[in-house]
Amino acid sequence: MASGTPPHAAAAGTRLDPWLSSYAARTQGMRASEIRALFAVANRPEVVSLAGGMPYLEGLPLDILGELTQRVVATRGTTALQYGSGQGDEGLREQILEVMRLEGITAHPDDVVVTTGSQQALDLVTRIFIDPGDVIVAEAPSYVGALGVFSAYQADVVHVPLDADGLIPSALEETLTALEREGRRVKLLYTVPNFHNPAGVTLSAERRPQILEIARRHGVLVLEDNPYGLLGFEGDPIPAMRALDDDGVIYLGSFSKTFAPGYRVGWAVAPHAVREKLVLASESAILCPSNASQLAISAYLSTCDWKGQVKSFRELYRERRDAMIGALSEHLPDASWTVPNGGFYTWVKLPEGLDAKAMLPRAVTSRVAYVPGTAFYADGQGADHMRLSFCFPTPERIREGVRRLAGVVAGESELVSLFGTGPGAPNRTIQAPGPDLT
């Protein structure tokens, strides 16, 4: 660089982006994840991707769904193709109550707001509650897409540890007390209680009222994100936190994992006054959710055996979970991992000294992909972990993927034992999740 020129980043930015100085403060830290370029490669067919959270849709009855959509457009087209209610279609909101009843939730259709996937609900909740510098408490680790939203609204995320039974009540109590002592404003406790993304653990029934009591006592609203609740591999679902507390919980649900993400239909259930604000915020953001999507899902729920479909997804994913855990036991004995009772993910701790992010390019070269643990923390932790998804590839591909991964880990371990390469520096930048990372 010639002397006298401005620092590189600014100079490049000025050259490339005439509007660089116009962005809002919230936009300054916004950048594409470094690992996304790798994912472009990871999507090639020869790579076994254990990275994405895409549900396996080949089990869906596409012919029947096609006919059903045809009927919706042909017979209800002037509604399906028109603007609709900002809060969402009332018929669908009633059907959503049925879905939630399976997890013990009783609510009124008026308590439900339909959103463009539950990601939009996360955005709206954060929008109405978070001023820059407000604190959101979240599990360590936490869903990358939520961390991205929280960062977009300039929240400070403080992590609370979890164990095999989910978020640890005593740790939550300590953290909230310490934050109070520091005079911090804690607005939300964000939690994924069932089949946690990425940790794979579930908050036990015993802990649920304890967590709710602690949050209530500290004046913190609980944001319960539950896309996977119906995808348990054993027994009936544990009652949702919202089933235990109407006023202190905003519950988020989704059809993305139990049916299909392509319609982008999720929902929030919120205390009345909060629900009103969510609707106003959603109208400002998108006017209204898609009637075409909502009526298609409504027709699916009313004419298809959706509970049977969920059951067959559960069996499919259980088989894949078993394939993954079996392969990990066989090929990666020096690592450790969680054994999820449902959902899409296991959370793997690498052998001592390995850095999942540093290792990713080598993994992709060896035709296997995963998400490095750092993606799931707001504070640079997680380099020694990776998230493995078992939702999309077949059991055979999962086994092959883990075999390839074991080869990469072995090579990396050898390098570490020779040269002592440790984890890199923590990376505090929260990145936009991208659909690859759901």
Nearest to 146 by CA among 225, 34, 254: 225
Q: Do residues 308 and 301 lie in contact, with contact meaning Cβ atoms separated by under 8 Å?
A: no
Stretch in the footprint of a copy of itself (CB under 8 A) among 21-29, 191-199, 205-213, 313-321:
21-29
Size of the site for a copy of itself (CB under 8 A): 94
The residue among 336, 325, 275, 313 whose CA lies nearest residue 392 is 313
Q: Closest distance between a copy of itself and the C-beta of residue 86, in Å? A: 6
Provide the minimum distance between the beta carbon of 125 and a copy of itself in the complex, in angstroms, as a whole number. 11
**8 Å CB contact between 384 and 373:** yes
Q: What part of residues 177-206 is at the interface with a copy of itself (CB under 8 A)? A: 187
Using the rule CB under 8 A, give the single segment among 269-277, 303-311, 317-325, 398-406 that binds a copy of itself.
Answer: 269-277
CB of 272 to a copy of itself, least distance (A): 8
What's the min distance (Å) between Cβ of 414 and a copy of itself? 37
> Is the C-alpha dihedral spanning 236, 241, 243, 249 positive or negative?
negative
41 interacts with a copy of itself by CB under 8 A: no
Q: For residues 59 and 308, what is the distance between their CA atoms, to the nearest angstrom?
A: 12
Region near a copy of itself per CB under 8 A, out of 284-292, 318-326, 352-360, 371-379: 284-292
Which residue shows structure tokens 């036991």?
329
45 counts as binding a copy of itself under rule CB under 8 A: no
Of 1, 9, 24, 425, the one binding a copy of itself (CB under 8 A) is 24
Dihedral of the CA atoms 38, 42, 47, 52 (nearest 10)? 130
Q: How far apart are CA 147 and CA 122, in angstroms?
A: 10
Count other C-beta atoms under 10 Å from residue 247's C-beta: 10
Please check whether residue 52 is in contact with residue 44, taking contact to mean a CB–CB distance below 8 angstroms.
Answer: no
3-state secondary structure 275-299: HHHHHHHHHHHHCCCCHHHHHHHHH
Q: Which is nearer to a copy of itself, 224 or 355 (CB)?
A: 224
Q: Residue 73, interface with a copy of itself (CB under 8 A)?
A: yes
Interatomic CA distance for residues 239 and 193, integer angstroms = 10
Least Å from the CB of residue 98 to a copy of itself: 21
159-178 residues near a copy of itself, rule: CB under 8 A: none
Q: Which of 103, 123, 224, 355 binds a copy of itself (CB under 8 A)?
A: 123
Distance (Å, whole) CA 320 – CA 326: 10
CB–CB of 398/323 below 8 Å?
Answer: yes
The verdict on 280 binding a copy of itself (CB under 8 A) reads yes
**221/383 with CB nearer a copy of itself:** 221
Question: Binder to a copy of itself among 247, 315, 330, 414 (CB under 8 A)?
Answer: 247
Interaction between residue 54 and a copy of itself (CB under 8 A): yes
d(Cα 340, Cα 164) in Å, to the nearest integer?
9
**Minimum distance from residue 90 beta carbon to a copy of itself (Å):** 13
The answer to whether 416 contacts a copy of itself (rule: CB under 8 A) is no
Q: Which position among 48, 189, 243, 292 is part of the footprint of a copy of itself (CB under 8 A)?
A: 292
Instruction: Kindly tell me which residue out of 3, 5, 7, 18 binds a copy of itself, with binding defined by CB under 8 A.
Output: 18
Within residues 126-155, the interface with a copy of itself by CB under 8 A covers: 127-131, 134, 145, 148-149, 152-153
The structure tokens listed for 354 are: 């390995």
Contact 391, 73 (CB under 8 A): no
- Closest approach, Cβ 424 to a copy of itself, in A, equals 23
Chain positions 74 to 113 lying near a copy of itself, rule: CB under 8 A, are 74, 77-86
- How many Å apart are CA 363 and CA 370, to the nearest integer? 8
